Structure 1
Amino acid sequence: MTEAFATKPKPESSRKDVAGRLFVLELSGGRIHSMRPDGSSRKVIVADCHLPDGIAVDVEAGHIYWTNMGVPNLDDGSIERADLDGSNRKVIVPQGVTFTPKQLHLEKRSGKLYWSDREGMRVMRANLDGTDVETLVKTGDGNRGDATKWCVGITVDPKRRQIYWTQKGPDNAGLGRILRAGIDIPEGEDAVSRTDIEVWFDGLPEPIDLELDLASRVLYWTDRGNPPLGNSVNRASIDAPARNGRASELVVRDLMEGIGVALDVPGNRMFVTDLGGSLYSAALDGSEKRVLLSAQGNLTGVAYAEIPSQEN
């Protein structure tokens, strides 16, 4: 592992009063599963979701948030919130406000939820209660079938005040891209015409979800396209300049259409889901890959959280 990607596990003494918990979305069953990081103690905490896709956890407030992608031609996507055990369920962004919301990112310090809206061709955000919905990026209008404009994954770099998102592209067309821009629209510009958008990577098979290791400044993403570059997890330093040979590293292979990715940086591990119904764990460098769950419908988003032991 290169020095730029090195991580140092947190001392065990600082982790003994917390217990890790995974939250996994089952698209086909419309359910949210909660389990230990080894896949044990699994239980369904939310049912009857409308094609759930992205999930985020706010441990401090005791909430989970998730997107319901809905049926693309019906414009019935939404965002919901519940307590960590699935109780007190509430719609915070109702149908008709966002088209097909996909990956969801919680930026706690600013009190904002960020998400990508696929057929809506937008990057959006709102307050944690669903108010003050904004469109930060709009990639197209009218032709919802143009997959090059579909926004899918999302993450935030609060240090540099930037957002990263994926535009998937058609199936296995090699037109997928990862882009970034400022966290706010430049003054005097709008979501359509903003001039600070940078193509960070292009020519990818089908990039989907994003996760950022802020400590090491490394971005991870899943790709659901075909091998040799797809069905994978990849990573790259977000501070490496393009003209000096920015390059990505393929760290996990042999997924069945990879979708969700979550990092436990102190524990030097990642968790990955795929549409084939498997949940995996691996070290951050891709070694020690193992299957935690298999044949569980179609899995989409995954989130990892360290929760005080008495609440786990």
Structure 2
Amino acid sequence: MGHLGMVILIQLLIFSSISGTQFKPALLTSAQSQFKCGNNKRIPVKWVCDGDRDCEDGSDEVRCSPLQCKKDEFACPGGRCLSLSLRCDGTDDCGDGSDEASCQNCTANSFLCEQAGNCVVRDKLCDGRLDCPHGQDEGADLCPSGWTTPPHNCLRSEFRCGDGRCVPHSWRCDHSPDCADQSDEDNCDQNECRVNNGGCSHICLDQPMGFLCDCPAGQKLVHDLQCEDIDLCLDTDVCSQGCFHANGTMSCDCNDGYVMNPSTGECNAKGDVAQLVFSTSEGVQLVNTSGMDYRLIDAQLLGPGPLAAFTENHTLYWARPRQGSIYRISMDGNPQTPVLLLKGQGAVLGLAVDWIHQLLYWTNADTHSVNVAHLDCSAQRVLVGGLARPTGLALDPLLGLLFWAESGRSSSIQRAGLDGQERLPLITTAIWNPVAISLDIPRRLLYWVDSGLRTISRVDFHGHHRKIVVESNGYLDRPFGLTVFEGRVYWSEQTTHSLCSTDKHNGSLFRTIRLNISSPGSLVLVHPVLQPKGPAVCGNNVCPFDCVPDLFSETSSPSFTCIPPTRGSNDVITHTLPVLSDTTYSGLVSLIVVLCPVVLIVLLAVLALWWWRDEFRPSRTPTLQDLSLKESQDPLIQAPARDPEIGSVKDTV
């Protein structure tokens, strides 16, 4: 054949391989136009990839392109498209039960999203916002003809229909009308990338029909439109806490107070076994993470109210459901009467303790606010108001951060400083009813449990690297409380009356810790390592002294003050809480101000010494040895990177 024949043969092989990756039938006989099954049985080629298993081994349906059903249809795993009206109707139409899986029994005042199997409050129907994942609640079949929605400010990632509704931009020109007036399928031969970059955060690629979003090198596409940096540590999820990636290798490390398990690589807390404290209709109870050492802490605090713990003084805080009265109880084991701290605060759904500044935070669904008080509740105030229905609450006082979840018409998870300033939304899409949140502080990740979607998910403190950790597994029908510790995530479940846990990375290794619990409610994990001491963010600086909160003044905005031991008037530095990325700069400025006089004195001393030696030493003729360069040390050795969030040596997460 020669070289030319060999080249042609290689090209044919490459073409054949590439064609195979396009999900085309590979065993088609050109002479008879038939497909050969794995057992050599032949069937008509038109039967291939039709959604029915005609070969006994199913080989005619193995290498087929993914089924593309319309938005008003449900895709069965076997390759069939069903009308959404058959979803969750009590009949197995797919044949494998998939069209009846994960279905909820919606109440009379709610509506079933047939594609996802979730329930939506009927007040959300035809309100101009897509509450069903595929927009069924805003479809023409449900909304009256001639109905027009109030104008909305559509997001950058959304397309405005002719009637003012907002639909995801990725639904434009997808051959399936999503707007009532079908305006999302008009003018599809135009370059969508010319209008708002197609909604893409970075690169927009126009296609013959529609468009695609793309990302620069080192980033990945999230939710079809947004790009975020690739983080191999979070993407691979192999480390329990610290993760370091360099030169293609990855190493794990543990924070202070933890030790690495040599067999599992998990970071385990030093000291005693951690205790899970949970509220029930029979009182506040306790069990350790292994399911042993169960006991009743207090039989007077009845109901699944929110809980918070202050580990240093063995104190628990609990709020009575619906009434909102907040109590304090000791965990020392001696029977004590709960101390009433605040009475009639309304629907308190979340509690959290700031163990650094000794403050108590809570959410109030009746007043739509996040509130703060001293631990003895001698003073209190509203920090954040005008919320929808705030539920879960969590704090990281070392970074000066406050997190809360909102359910209702605009469900979200948000972040602010401990003074309620510098608000930042972290999660605003694909979230239904977040009932509880918890922090994995060593990895700087926030976890939340969504009782509407029946999932447990996580995201980092900046709203990036979102991931679903646990999906509905029969123990997420009515989740309530949530906490994270070591390598596991724990939650309470009201339908199965249980406490459960799984691996915090991927939801594996599921186990029930305790069953037959009467109305399990909030959940808090108690261990000293979860409330570490250390310099905390105070204003724009890390405060090595006392960081004193000034939150309750009626004449000034909330703030935090760093007070040195001398408490001199010239030494007091007061700032409002910062955005994380500003911390390093402010800390560096303060460091320069302190060190400048010292550096100047040392420099003058060196110059004086040099002048004295040059003035009084005897002169001599330079030799060849004098002219040779002395071996110098590498001036480019880098110091440990400083974390722009807290201004200290960085622990890569």
More helix by share: 2
Q: Take 1:235 and 1:133, find their aligned partners in 2: how far apart are those partners?
A: 31
Q: Take 1:7 and 1:183, find their aligned partners in 2: how far apart are those partners?
A: 23
Between structure 1 and structure 2, the one with the greater Rg is 2
Counterpart residue identity of residue 209, structure 1? G
Counterpart residue identity of residue 359, structure 2? H
Q: Take 1:115 and 1:222, find their aligned partners in 2: how far apart are those partners?
A: 19
How high is the TM-score relative to the length of structure 2? 0.32
Q: 1:139 aligns with which of 429, 443, 463?
A: 429
Would the aligned equivalents of 2:322 and 2:346 in 1 still touch at CA under 8 Å? no
Q: Give a deviation string over 1:220-277, Cα, whole Å, max 9, x none.
A: 11122x22xxx221112324x56xxx1321112222332211111359xxxxxxxxxx
CA drift of 1:218 comes to 2.1
Q: Does 1:112 align with 2:401?
A: yes
Q: 2:321 aligns with which of 27, 36, 39?
A: 27
Would the aligned equivalents of 2:358 and 2:374 in 1 still touch at CA under 8 Å? yes
Q: 2:447 aligns with which of 164, 170, 180?
A: 164
Q: Does 1:121 align with 2:411?
A: yes
Q: Does 1:238 align with 2:529?
A: no
Q: Take 2:441 and 2:416, find their aligned partners in 1: how far apart are those partners?
A: 16
Partner of 2:371: 80
Would the aligned equivalents of 1:81 and 1:90 in 2 still touch at CA under 8 Å? yes
Partner of 2:391: 102
Q: Take 1:182 and 1:7, find their aligned partners in 2: how far apart are those partners?
A: 22
Would the aligned equivalents of 1:178 and 1:207 in 2 still touch at CA under 8 Å? no
Q: 1:252 aligns with which of 497, 514, 519?
A: 514
Q: Does 1:179 align with 2:457?
A: yes
Q: Give a deviation string over 1:272-295, Cα, whole Å, max 9, x none.
A: xxxxxxxxxxxxxxxxxxxxxxxx
Q: Structure 2: where are the runs of 5+ without partners?
A: 1-262, 274-310, 530-653
Q: Secondary structure at the match of 2:313?
A: strand
How high is the TM-score relative to the length of structure 1? 0.65
* Count of residue correspondences: 224
CA drift of 1:52 comes to 0.4
Q: 2:438 aligns with which of 155, 175, 182?
A: 155
More strand by share: 1
Change (3 A) 1:207 1:5: farther
Partner of 1:145: none
Change (3 A) 1:137 1:45: same
Would the aligned equivalents of 1:232 and 1:251 in 2 still touch at CA under 8 Å? yes
Q: Take 2:407 and 2:348, find their aligned partners in 1: how far apart are those partners?
A: 13
Change (3 A) 1:118 1:90: same
Q: 1:64 aligns with which of 360, 369, 374?
A: 360
Q: Take 2:528 and 2:510, find their aligned partners in 1: how far apart are those partners?
A: 22
Would the aligned equivalents of 1:56 and 1:104 in 2 still touch at CA under 8 Å? yes
Change (3 A) 1:59 1:266: closer
Q: Take 2:268 and 2:513, find their aligned partners in 1: how far apart are those partners?
A: 14
Q: Secondary structure at the match of 2:442?
A: coil
Change (3 A) 1:208 1:60: same
CA drift of 1:69 comes to 1.7
Would the aligned equivalents of 2:501 and 2:511 in 1 still touch at CA under 8 Å? yes
Q: Give a deviation string over 1:118-160, Cα, whole Å, max 9, x none.
A: 21310111111111222110135xxxxxxx7111211122332
Q: Take 1:158 and 1:65, find their aligned partners in 2: how far apart are those partners?
A: 18
CA drift of 1:200 comes to 0.8
